[in-house]
């Protein structure tokens, strides 16, 4: 997620890194293949040797964003000593995401930003939905160690909605403060279980 031009790695890796920076900064639709290949420092043919289409590159970008978030979450969850702390680790991962250095500033969730540009029935939107459902499932799993399955599912959904609103607001404000506020609200919700 940290921007910066790198010329190391395979052509595929460089293309995904370049697409990640450009899609996040300028959007999926407005970023052309020529811009991506120039940023990656590869020939246009390298793109088509690695991806059958721009849509396939977009899917790789979305998968990379998902993997990046999971890495942030896992790093936070490793030090969490209780189920309550593991729930808050999800919020901390979003705070870490919003605190990263971006060339053009923090613009919110890259997955949701991309989904907003894609057709309703696109594979990319399905991939974003899968990510959001996995986040909610992670929350549910931690909450089930605290309360009943029904209450866990309900609270996880509330936390997921809280996260989505906070990440959207953080994108508008350009920083993690709304996510910190959401973390405090989630902490109080979990403590009340």
> Per the structure block, which two tokens stand in for 18?
């370049």
Domain match, 90 and 143 both: yes
Question: Does residue 93 sit within a domain?
Answer: yes
Is 72:131 a contact under the CB 8 Å cutoff? no
Give the end-to-end CA distance of the chain in Å, rounded to a whole number.
35
pLDDT tens over the chain, length 193 residues: 434 444 568 999 999 999 999 999 999 999 999 999 999 999 999 999 999 999 999 999 999 999 999 999 999 999 999 999 999 999 999 999 999 878 888 999 999 999 999 999 999 999 999 999 999 999 999 999 999 999 999 999 999 999 999 999 999 999 999 999 999 999 999 999 9
Per the structure, the count of domains in the chain is: 2
Domain match, 177 and 131 both: yes
The boundaries of the domain holding residue 44 are: 9-51
Domain at 177, CATH number: 1.10.357.10
> Per the structure block, which two tokens stand in for 84?
């309550």
Residue 147's CB is within 10 A of a number of other CB atoms, namely 16
Per-residue pLDDT, 7: 58
Q: How far, in Å, CA of 150 to CA of 147, rounded? A: 8
Domain match, 159 and 71 both: yes
Per-residue pLDDT, 6: 46
Report the candidate in 110, 88, 97, 102 with the shortest Cα–Cα distance to residue 70: 97
Tokens 């899609």 correspond to what residue? 23
Per-residue pLDDT, 3: 43
Tokens 């059958």 correspond to what residue? 52
Question: Does residue 119 sit within a domain?
Answer: yes
Helix (H, G, I), strand (E, B) or coil at 84: helix
Residues 6 or more apart whose CB falls under 8 angstroms from that of 31 comprise 19, 22, 23
Question: Does residue 2 sit within a domain?
Answer: no
Domain at 35, CATH number: 1.10.10.60
Question: Does residue 3 sit within a domain?
Answer: no
């Amino acid at each position: 997620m940290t921007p910066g031009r790198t010329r190391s790695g395979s052509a595929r890796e460089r293309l995904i890194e370049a697409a990640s920076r450009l899609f996040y900064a300028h959007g999926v639709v407005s970023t052309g293949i020529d811009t991506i290949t120039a940023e990656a420092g590869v020939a246009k043919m390298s793109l088509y040797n690695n991806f059958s289409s721009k849509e396939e590159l977009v899917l790789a970008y979305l998968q990379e964003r998902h993997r990046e978030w999971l890495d942030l979450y896992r790093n936070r969850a490793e030090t969490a000593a209780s189920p309550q702390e593991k729930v808050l680790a999800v919020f901390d991962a979003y705070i870490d995401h919003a605190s990263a250095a971006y060339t053009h500033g923090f613009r919110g969730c890259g997955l949701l930003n991309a989904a907003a540009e894609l057709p309703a029935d696109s594979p990319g939107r399905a991939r974003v939905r899968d990510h959001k459902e996995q986040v909610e499932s992670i929350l549910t799993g931690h909450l089930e160690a605290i309360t009943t399955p029904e209450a866990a599912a309900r609270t996880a959904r509330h936390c997921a909605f809280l996260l989505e609103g906070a990440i959207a607001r953080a994108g508008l404000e350009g920083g993690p403060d709304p996510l910190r506020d959401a973390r405090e609200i989630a902490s109080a919700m979990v403590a009340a279980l």
